[in-house]
Amino acid sequence: MQKEIIVIIGGPGTGKTTIIDGLIANGYCCYPEISREVTLEAKKQGIEQLFLEKPLLFSELLLEGRKKQFHNACKEPHEVVFIDRGIPDVLAYMHYIGDSYPATFDIACREHTYSKIFILPPWEEIYISDHERYENFEQAKLICNHLTETYQSYGYELIEVPKDTLDNRILFILDEISK
């Protein structure tokens, strides 16, 4: 069987981290979202909101981190690796804020391809803002639209995960990858 590198995407507050944590608890190999790590590192250096203050730098750091995750996932002994957000997320967020980016961003999306993409739709009932998640629910819906457009522009067919219990969402994903 060929290695499957599966990405879970969605706007902020749709349950991605909760699903990744649930998959880890079920013994699956998963890579966490790295934007909080990048944001916290910037805060240590005195930059309160790196994405807002220096979006291109933030995006370059994310792009490098996500490329590293992809390469590490390729080396995993596991047949299936789940990743919380993929490389095209970086471009989707740049589209969302209306910023341009170098051609290397597009090249990275074309050179690193994933097996399947699961998208979690905006879900107001579970949406919560926090110190790293500054977007409101309306913004989260716009981000989801940008994610959808960006991934589809790279030829991905998105599999929408139903709004349901954590266990049922995980079962849905596992059932889809076994097809």
- How many other C-beta atoms are found inside a 10 Å radius of the C-beta of residue 153? 14
Q: Give the pLDDT mean for 141-162.
A: 97
What does pTM read for this prediction?
A: 0.91
Spatial CB neighbours of 14, under 8 Å, sequence gap ≥ 6: 120, 121, 122, 123, 126, 127, 140, 144
Superfamily of domain 4-177: P-loop containing nucleotide triphosphate hydrolases (3.40.50.300)
**Taking the CA of residue 117 as centre, how many other CA atoms within 13 Å lie in the half-sphere pointing to its CB?**
22
Q: pLDDT tens across 49-72, in order? A: 777 778 888 899 999 999 999 999
Spatial CB neighbours of 80, under 8 Å, sequence gap ≥ 6: 3, 4, 6, 28, 29, 177
Mean pLDDT estimate for the chain: 91
Model confidence at 158, pLDDT cuts 50, 70, 90, reads very high
pLDDT of residue 2: 72
- Residue 127 pLDDT > 70, yes or no? no
- Residue 131 pLDDT > 70, yes or no? no
